[in-house]
Amino acid sequence: MDSTNEKDRHPIRFLLKLLIFAGLLYAVGRFLAQQKEEWAGLTESQVKAKMEEKLTPKVGEEKASEIAVQVTAALTERGVIAADEPAGADEPAEDEE
């Protein structure tokens, strides 16, 4: 049995690669959770304004508006974001006597 034909195993190198991989997974998961928290609880108009703000420098104002409308409609349909409340819905109705 000649040891030159066998594959050399390096347990320290394997553990280091495993730790790097786990660290990358943790970082990506943390980033995604942060993004979700940032966008959670926003209304449709707030999401649309935020998306237009981020997309306008990249694709232009008209295209950014189109994309924002399509994305907010899809997210509202899925229930991810809240639909805008009609104006005055947060104010209590006044009783007239």
Domain that holds residue 78: 42-84
pLDDT reported for residue 39: 80
Please check whether residue 42 is in contact with residue 5, taking contact to mean a CB–CB distance below 8 angstroms.
no
Q: Is residue 31 part of a domain?
A: yes
The number of distinct structural domains making up the chain is: 2
Same domain assignment for residues 21 and 49:
no
Q: What is the 3 state secondary structure string of 3-60?
A: CCCCCCCCHHHHHHHHHHHHHHHHHHHHHHHHHHHHHCCCEHHHHHHHHHHHHHHHHC
Please check whether residue 44 is in contact with residue 82, taking contact to mean a CB–CB distance below 8 angstroms.
yes
Q: Is residue 92 part of a domain?
A: no
Name the one residue in this structure whose structure tokens are 């104010």: 91
86 pLDDT higher than 70: no
Kindly indicate the confidence band of residue 7, based on its pLDDT and cuts at 50, 70 and 90: low
Give the mean pLDDT of the chain.
82
3 pLDDT higher than 60: no
